[in-house]
Structure 1
Amino acid sequence: MFDPTDLYRLGDDLPELTDPVLLYHFDGFVDAGGAGRLAFGHLLDELEHRTVATFDVDRLLDYRSRRPIMTFDTDRWVEAETPRLAVHLAHDTTGTPFLVMTGPEPDREWELFITAVGQVAARLGVSKMITAHGIPMAIPHTRPLGLTAHASRPELIGPQSTSFGRVQVPGSVAGLLEFRLGEQGRDMVGYAVHVPHYLAQAEFPQAALAALDAVTRSTGLVFPLDGLRSAAEKTTAEIEEQIQGSAELSTAITGLEQQYDAFAAGSAGQNLMAESTPMPTGDELAAQFERFLAERDETES
């Protein structure tokens, strides 16, 4: 029988924590606008942290489907990226400790990995686990971002309106983790931030801010967000500049605003998941933004 303890290694001198929250996000699943990746990556960039647990990526990843980047210089290999899946200990701006688990989504041994995560969470005394990611929606960037909350117990998120009924979707490790550990009685919460479909492939810091705001409401943790807010303001200005230069884009965004406002007002038949009036598709809008995104990349490189 496989032993889940073989999948992870705990650090030396583990801290004694009192009911910490564990935030987690795995790269590889749907994450429109980079909402989850940017949010939790921002925390690790801004806050001092140390690694308290690592997982065996050699067993969990399929390198041939996601080949690590290697650097060749003239006549030899000089660098190779090493994927890392780990749990980090950080403290918020008030000094409250919390944990962050990030890394690539495992390709294999999902059930064993989930058992291993449960063991690590139990050893660290975790009280609640929270994940976040972005999903593309037919909404304009000029309106407040919504989010869909889900949890192992309804009282963890309270009442909410949602565009989702009962649906079947491709699974993810994050979703299965919430389901399996929730079955065991652990408090699990997730936030899916609604990201404009035409910006789903770009980095959209506004979505990361929405994710972290939701985490703060759920946990009381306070995060340094000035850098993320500045990035969001810059992104908004660049998007507006692109739209002002294109009558077609401006008309399309106006149409999305009208559709969104009708939905928000409770008009019958409106659904942000599927456009019920003639509108440019997400691919069509995204194609019009390709030049804008390419120019951003060239400017920032």
Structure 2
Amino acid sequence: MLDPEELYEVDSDVPNLEGAVLLHHFDGFLDAGAAGRTLTDHLLEEHEHRVIARFDVDRLIDYRSRRPTMTFLTDHWEEYEAPELVVRLQHDTAGIPFLLLTGPEPDREWERFTAAVGALVERWGVRLTVGMHGIPMDVPHTRPLGVTAHGTRPELVQGHQPFLSRMQIPGSIAALLEFRLGESGHDAMGFAAHVPNYLVQATYPGAALTLLETVGEATGLSLSGDALREAGRRADLEIGKQVAESDEVAEVVRALERRYDTFLDASKRESLLAESEGELPTADEIGGEFERFLAEQERTDPRD
């Protein structure tokens, strides 16, 4: 493998980051309700930031599969929105530094890219790397959203209910990054907010807020969430209006509420995914759902 450090450039004036947290989200894979993207946009809006490392997207991105946007004005090309895969330095409300890695998911050289991120983790003394996104789930928007947690050590996800014992789903750079960091002895974890199935194609701020609160608890970072709370409140009001206008949709939501409440009341239940263990979806079924969701995302991708 070629030298991973040739994939990126780092600013010369990066401060001491020993013990910092690295958050990451990549566009292009599963992100129901745009949960991860909405959270990263929120962090960039609420917390000052500057780019301290930039990856070579020409080596990593297939432009023909995800064409960047260009603006045409009358008789000439006015603007080109070049894709960026960067690490930004930010500070939480208490002034604690943290890092945010965002951009399109690499199409190629996954092993080299994960090795490059690992080199930055070691270079800066990052103590914990955390990924975040949304997944579709059979839950109502009128109840608290759950989160699936996973990590390189069991201690990292204590207090979080396990998802399923074993399943196979399409891979992602975020998953591979967590896996490779764990192999190298670094702490890494990820959170997937549970997004109601009927909202997966919409931008759902409530899912992003769930991620923000969960990430804050796991990392100790103090992250501003007021704007997301207000956006979530407005979104829930609008969703409530739309549900009320359709008897069929309202019945679906009521059924999900009954199911959710039944599981919540049954202390011996181990999953909100089905009424009994015998009714749990198989790994193949869940993998198929992920694949179908990704196929729908590709067909509706506005960048094409």
- The TM-score normalised by the length of structure 2 is 0.87
Q: Does 1:110 align with 2:110?
A: yes
Query: For 1:144-176, what per-residue CA distance to the aligned partner results, in whole angstroms no more than 9, with x for missing partners?
Result: 100111000000111432341200111000000
Where 1:261 maps in the other structure, the secondary structure is helix
Number of aligned residue pairs: give it: 278
What SS does the aligned partner of 1:217 have? helix
Task: Report if the CA contact (8 A) 1:34-1:134 is conserved.
Answer: yes
Partner of 1:231: 231
Which residue in 1 is equivalent to 2:147? 147
For 1:188 and 1:5, the matched residues in 2 are separated by 20
What is the CA RMSD across the aligned residues, in angstroms?
1.9
Paired position in structure 1 for 2:285: none
Distance 1:271 1:186, change over 3 A: closer
Bigger mean CA deviation after superposition, 259-268 or 200-209 = 259-268
Residue in structure 2 matched with residue 15 of structure 1 by the alignment? 15
Q: Which amino acid aligns with 1:144?
A: P
Amino acid at match of 1:213: E
Distance in structure 1 (CA, Å) of the matches to 2:71 and 2:16 = 41
Match of 1:190 in 2: 190
Q: Distance in 1 between matches of 2:139 and 2:156?
A: 27
1:243-288 deviation digits (Å, cap 9, x = unpaired): 1111111111111111112222339999654686xxxxxx9xxxxx
Contact 1:62 1:107 in 2 (8 A): yes
- In 2, Cα distance between the equivalents of 1:29 and 1:274? 25
What is the aligned partner in structure 1 of residue 93 from structure 2?
A: 93
| CA deviation vs aligned residue, 1:168-208 (integer Å, no higher than 9, x gap) | 11100000000011111000011111110100111111111
Normalised by the size of structure 1, how large is the TM-score?
0.88
- 1:152·1:188 contact (CA, 8 Å) conserved in 2? yes
The question of whether the paired residues in 2 share the 8 Å contact of 1:129 and 1:187 is answered with yes
Q: Within 1, Cα distance between the matches of 2:24 and 2:204?
A: 19
| Equivalent pair of 1:163/1:272 in contact (CA under 8 Å) | no
- Does 2:201 align with 1:201? yes
Does structure 2 retain, via aligned residues, the 8 Å contact 1:27–1:105?
A: yes
Structure-2 change in CA distance of 1:243 and 1:99 (3 Å): same
- Kindly indicate whether the alpha-carbon contact (under 8 Å) linking 1:105 and 1:173 is maintained by their aligned counterparts in 2: yes
1:243 aligns with 2:264: no
| Equivalent-residue separation in structure 1 for 2:197 and 2:75 (angstroms) | 44
Unaligned runs of 5+ in 1: 277-282, 284-301
Q: CA deviation at 1:40?
A: 1.9
Paired residue for 1:78? Answer: 78
Q: What's the counterpart of residue 216 of structure 2? A: 216
Which whole-Å CA distance do the structure 1 matches of 2:119 and 2:268 have between them?
48
- Give the gaps of 5 or more residues in structure 2: 280-288, 290-304
Instruction: Summarize the Cα distance change of 1:185–1:270 in structure 2 as closer, same or farther, 3 Å threshold.
Output: closer
Amino acid at match of 1:147: V
